[in-house]
Amino acid sequence: MTDYSDHIGIIGGGIAGLTLGCSLLKDGIPATIFEKMPEEISHGAALSLSSNALRLLHRLDIYNDLKNQSFIHSAASIQGPQKEISSFQTPEVLTTRRQTLMTLLYSKYIDLGGEVHHDHAFDDFDAAKCEVTFTNKKKYILKHLAACDGIRSSIRDNFFAANQTPKYSGYSAWRGIGKSNLQRIHFALGPGSHIVSYPINNRGDVSFVAVKKEDYQFKESWKEEGSVKDLLNDFSIYDSKIFPALEKSMPLYKWGIYIRPSLKSMITKNITLLGDAAHPMVPFLGQGACMAIEDAYSFAMACKDNIANLLDAQQAYDFVRSKRTKKIQRLSMMQGKIYHMKNPLLVAARNAVMKYTNIPGNDLKRIHDYDAHDEMQIYLAFGDLRHINF
Ligand SMILES: Cc1cc2nc3c(=O)[nH]c(=O)nc-3n(C[C@H](O)[C@H](O)[C@H](O)COP(=O)(O)OP(=O)(O)OC[C@H]3O[C@@H](n4cnc5c(N)ncnc54)[C@H](O)[C@@H]3O)c2cc1C
């Protein structure tokens, strides 16, 4: 048994876990990460991060290094299967390899004195003793358990919502990276499908996510290897030039996109859920990792303010983050419906709104303008402002 009774034990060293580790250590709060994988491995091709997450990475002193290895966007374009619909300016969006973000978070965490215990797959937690056990039989006494173990979180299953396994959302996504001279974020929308492409650096590497609505049920691995031929077949209504150069031998994966119902609360006893463990979402607003970063940063702020009473920290976190993440979960699902419209009249109306109004850009701006630091600071200073009569 190892005594970490002054540490916050973080289960899962993904985006939420590493961001939480950095945020806590930066504030002088002891923390340690337990990760089931034997070494730092990052699945998934690329990600986009919007300014709501970037301003937090700035505060964690990670942004500048990330920016140097990524692509910064201020413009996007949208087309139908064949014809352009509109081009518009976007608030700052950074696109990068997932591995780049993970490596920078990991290095920052280690620089701050952090440690990752690999080969530690969560097994059980005795909340009364605050004792965590791993499948390798190792046990640790903790101050608190932060569950950052992703969409298939067994901590969520055991302590928050039993018998509520992730459900296939009805969407599947092909992801890949190839060469192209694309210099902006590009959306192609068709009935029942869409393709998003963006450069992820200044060396011509372009990532694409091609999403299709289909009844197909994915099995255990949630992803399947596919060929260029299968991909082009699935998206035959589009001009194949939309994709970056696709080499026959390149590995391409098709992922099932899974969701779970919203939880009433992201906290219980001495356990706090963060990131996909708390609120997985369909990726149509590019906000899953951004929410994981916002959660982690906010929980660390709440802990710093309430280190002697983490229950208060949990309640502040739950109040501020539940509202935000439920809204983004809902909007992400709605975005899928807007992208995949089939009715020609609705498609024409959608395209006119995209072409002649600023509504889509303004909606995005509202999501991106959110500052998790300010929101938590206001809550910690004044509590729930709805109870104050001005
Ligand atoms: C197709 C697609 C495209 C996406 N694009 C974007 C995008 O552009 N922008 C964006 O913001 N988001 C995007 N997302 C969402 C984003 O990838 C996730 O929301 C994000 O990775 C969640 O981070 P996390 O740390 O909560 O979970 P994860 O990244 O899944 O990390 C969980 C960690 O916990 C570990 N773990 C799991 N179980 C255990 C256990 N029992 N014991 C110990 N460790 C454990 C895992 O090994 C892993 O390291 C996309 C998702 C998909 C499917």
Reported as a single tens digit per residue, the pLDDT across 321-339 is: 999 999 999 999 999 999 9
Q: Is residue 245 part of a domain?
A: no
CATH number at residue 19: 3.50.50.60
Residue closest by Cα to atom 39 of ligand 1: 149
- Average confidence (pLDDT) over 42-63: 92
Residue closest by Cα to atom 51 of ligand 1: 283
**How many angstroms is it from 70 CA to the middle of ligand 1?**
19
Cα 69–Cα 119–Cα 14 angle in degrees, nearest 5: 35
- Residue to mutate (ligand 1; options 33, 35, 43, 135; most atoms within 8 A of CB): 35
Band of residue 263 on the pLDDT scale cut at 50, 70, 90: very high
Q: Is residue 236 part of a domain?
A: no
Q: Is residue 339 part of a domain?
A: yes
Q: Is residue 181 part of a domain?
A: no
Q: Quick one: tokens of 22?
A: 């950095």
Of residues 109 and 40, the one with the higher pLDDT is 109
Q: Is residue 344 part of a domain?
A: yes
Q: Give CA–CA dist 292/18, Å, rounded.
A: 10
Residue closest by Cα to atom 30 of ligand 1: 150
194 pLDDT higher than 80: yes
Band of residue 389 on the pLDDT scale cut at 50, 70, 90: low
- Counting from 1 in the atom list of ligand 1, the atom nearest the Cα of 154 is 41
Of residues 313 and 84, the one with the higher pLDDT is 313
| Total number of domains constituting the chain | 1
Residues with CB under 6 A from ligand 1: 11-17, 34-37, 44, 47-49, 120-122, 148-150, 154, 173, 175, 209, 255, 257, 275-277, 283, 286-290, 292
Domain residues for the domain of 352 are 2-166+260-387
Q: Is residue 321 part of a domain?
A: yes
- Average confidence (pLDDT) over 199-214: 94
Q: What is the pLDDT of residue 221?
A: 65
- Residue to mutate (ligand 1; options 212, 276, 279, 281; most atoms within 8 A of CB): 276
Q: What is the pLDDT of residue 390?
A: 52
- Residue to mutate (ligand 1; options 50, 70, 149; most atoms within 8 A of CB): 149
The reported pTM is 0.95
**How many angstroms is it from 101 CA to the middle of ligand 1?**
12
Q: Is residue 20 part of a domain?
A: yes
Q: What is the pLDDT of residue 364?
A: 85
Q: Is residue 25 part of a domain?
A: yes
Residue closest by Cα to atom 17 of ligand 1: 289
